Chains A and B, each alone.
Chain A
Amino acid sequence: MKPLSQCLFSAAGELPYGQKYYHISYTFEISKEYKVLEVLLEYEPEKRTKPPKDLEKEVREAARTEIFREDPQTISDLINLCPLKNLINLAIKGPDGWRGEDHKFLCRREICLAEEGSTPCFSNGKNLPGQYELVLHVYAVFTDSLRYRVEVRGL
């Protein structure tokens, strides 16, 4: 039987459409060493299905100023990159330094931190007691809004 884990920290929030280039930081204390820390990040919706109305204008401007292309083929190929997925990285710092960061386009991340078998993107190590920090690196929100939740549990 799986031992019951204990909730050590949780937070939630909402981000508006168009939010980008933004860091959110949560710090909290963990009072004892846990063999395993489970960190959950989930948000919804995951992606936009219908292009926003100003997308074409934004794509055109990015193509013109960043890759110096304005031809209709390039613009339509770029617009076809839709549906646009929201992108948030989660970085975790423990009392003895950074454990890692995941750069993924997934709306649910279940991260396990342990001495062995930590989730890829995060390093193995003891989960020492002390101050922890979760950082959400918000690259882009394409959906009308984005509701997220983070939770840390100890085992």
Chain B
Amino acid sequence: MKQIRWVNAQLHNHTVHSDGKATVPEMVEALANRGAELIALTDHNSVSGHPQLLPACREKGVHGLRGIEVTTFYGHVLGLGVKEYIDWRGYSPECPEKICRDIRKLGGLAGLAHPIRIGYPAVTGCAWLYHISDYDAFDYIEILNTSDFQFCRNDLAIELWINRLRAGNTHLAAVSGLDYHARPWHGKETVTWLGMDSGIADPESAALDAIRSQRAIVCKDSLIRIEVRDSYRNRQLPGSRFSGTAQELLLDTAGKENLTVVLWDQNGSQILGTAKPSMPLPRIEQFLVVALYRGVPDVLNLEAISNPFFPDCTRGGNHPVCNN
């Protein structure tokens, strides 16, 4: 049985190895100081900071995750786990899937970065102008990019992700990214909590496994635990595919009160009520995504959003337990 440990992860960060202002050790220090336990380095078309990442992380007692942000003219694709430069000249607006294939060939996970953001002439290259024919080419979507709230529609990015789950791209994980460039904090930053398998010794592999397995909860800051109790009385984590029905929502809001719970499934969404440690669930179709908001369900009030649970799943039987 898997032992899962929840880890505070920051998965999208820049340094002087592209247009960030911090050196690699400065970036690691800044993020570790605000609680990050796993820090990715994803410079624009650059891996030259990688040799410094793991030593800087060791120094601060945190884990590093090497990656890249493939920064093309028509949009950005994150390649977590990629340790090589990628020549991006051959990518055409009709086939972003090729970027994902190249990332996967290099052992990485392909993430659609800030999918709904403005580009030229305001921030050239940052808008997503590619036509995606096959969302299965991607491993995850950055549903929250907190670098520039005004010109990056996180509300629509969440909607895009839910719609892709409904369209059958059920493997797509959801994560957040600071898109750290060493600008001042604005208070709306978020954390991706990854449920890392303690049985995987290498932290980079464990982080990639957690994303691939959709074992992740995006939170405003401290971890809000979101679990489901199934009809066999098993506790299920986000990403779980299990054979029973989803009976009960189990929430640990880390002391936060008056949170509104919203559910999405294949057919629609509904407000379940004010968060309680245990809440009976209605009938769920295909998948369940759970979000908690401070008051009105608006992306700016988001406290936590889970990756999907998959009840009534014939491939079930995987019941990770939590040890922290």
Interface residues of A (CB under 8 A from B): 20-21, 23, 55, 58-59, 62-63, 66-69, 74, 77-78, 81, 84, 87, 89, 91, 93, 97-98, 100-105, 118, 120-124, 135, 137, 139-140, 142
Contact = CB atoms under 8 A, between A and B. Distances in A.
Contact of B89 (A23, A105, A120, A140): A23
B121 A91 contact: no
A121 B118 contact: no
A62 B48 contact: no
Nearest to B84: A98
A-B CB proximity, top 8 nearest: A103-B44, A21-B73, A98-B85, A140-B124, A101-B45, A103-B18, A66-B127, A139-B124
Contacts of B87: 91, 93, 98
B12 interface: no
A104 B156 CA distance: 29
A103 B118 contact: no
A99 B258 CA distance: 53
A101 B85 contact: yes
A118 B121 contact: no
Contact of B18 (A78, A91, A121): A121
Interface in B34-88: 43-49, 51, 71, 73-74, 84-85, 87
A103 B44 CA distance: 6
A139 B48 contact: no
A97 B124 CA distance: 27
Contacts of B47: 100, 123
A20 to B, nearest CB: 6
Interface in B149-178: 150-153, 156
B78 to A, nearest CB: 14
A17 to B, nearest CB: 11
A103 B19 contact: yes
Given A59-B122, A78-B122, A105 B19 contact: yes
A66 B118 contact: yes
A78 B156 CA distance: 19
Contacts of B106: none
B69 to A, nearest CB: 9
Given A20-B120, A101-B46, A140-B124, 8 more contacts: A21-B73, A58-B120, A59-B122, A68-B153, A102-B46, A103-B18, A139-B124, A140-B120
A106 to B, nearest CB: 10
20 contacts: A55-B121, A59-B121, A62-B121, A62-B127, A66-B128, A67-B116, A69-B153, A74-B151, A84-B121, A100-B46, A100-B85, A101-B45, A103-B43, A120-B15, A121-B16, A121-B46, A121-B48, A123-B47, A135-B89, A139-B125
B117 interface: yes
Given A21-B73, A66-B117, A102-B18, A78 B124 contact: no
Nearest to B24: A120
B305 to A, nearest CB: 21
Contacts of B71: 89, 103
Contacts of B151: 67, 74, 78
A103 B124 contact: no
Nearest to A104: B19
Contacts of A91: 45, 85, 87
Contacts of A55: 121
A23 B18 CA distance: 19
Interface string B106-125: 00000000001111111111
Nearest to A80: B122
A129 B47 CA distance: 23
A115 to B, nearest CB: 13
B116 A66 contact: yes
Contact of B45 (A20, A66, A87, A89): A89
B118 A120 contact: no
B150 A77 contact: yes
Nearest to B88: A137
Given A67-B116, A68-B153, A104-B19, A20 B122 contact: no
Given A55-B121, A62-B122, A103 B46 contact: yes
A61 B85 CA distance: 33
Given A135-B89, A139-B73, A122 B121 contact: no
B17 interface: yes
A89 B88 CA distance: 12
A103 B45 contact: yes
